[in-house]
């Protein structure tokens, strides 16, 4: 099994050469702002991450919203495990589109 893990990680670090968008889904605006700043520092991003509020389906209350940090990854070479770790530090998770 360790051999397979090495093969998988080689693929994750080699990049896909395809543009990818990663979304850090976070519980509040403050967490999103801090995570966006931290992402810029950790990953040396070319573009500043965007912060977007996303209301949950069927909810009108501002309290019922998630905040997204949108990270553009034009070459598909950001480390997904490191992105997950960052999101979890702020009680969130990562989605990739």
Q: Is 72 exposed, middle or buried (0-12, 13-18, 19+ CB in 10 A)?
A: middle
**Cα(29)–Cα(92) distance, rounded to whole angstroms?**
12
| Tens-digit pLDDT profile for residues 27-74 | 999 999 999 999 999 999 988 999 999 876 655 555 668 999 999 999
Contacts of 77 (CB under 8 A, 6+ apart): 13, 14, 15, 16
pTM for the structure as a whole: 0.75
91 conformational bin, left if phi > 0, alpha if psi -120 to 50, beta if neither: left
Q: What is the pLDDT of residue 62?
A: 56
């Amino acid at each position: 099994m360790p051999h397979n893990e090495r093969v998988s990680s080689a693929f994750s670090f080699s990049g896909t050469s395809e543009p990818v968008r990663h979304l850090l889904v976070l519980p509040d605006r403050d967490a999103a702002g801090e995570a966006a700043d931290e992402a810029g520092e950790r990953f040396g991003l070319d573009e500043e991450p965007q912060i977007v509020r996303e209301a949950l389906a069927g909810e009108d209350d501002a309290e019922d919203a998630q905040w997204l940090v949108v990270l553009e990854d034009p070459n598909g070479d950001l480390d997904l495990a490191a992105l997950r770790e960052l999101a979890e530090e702020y009680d969130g998770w990562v989605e990739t589109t």
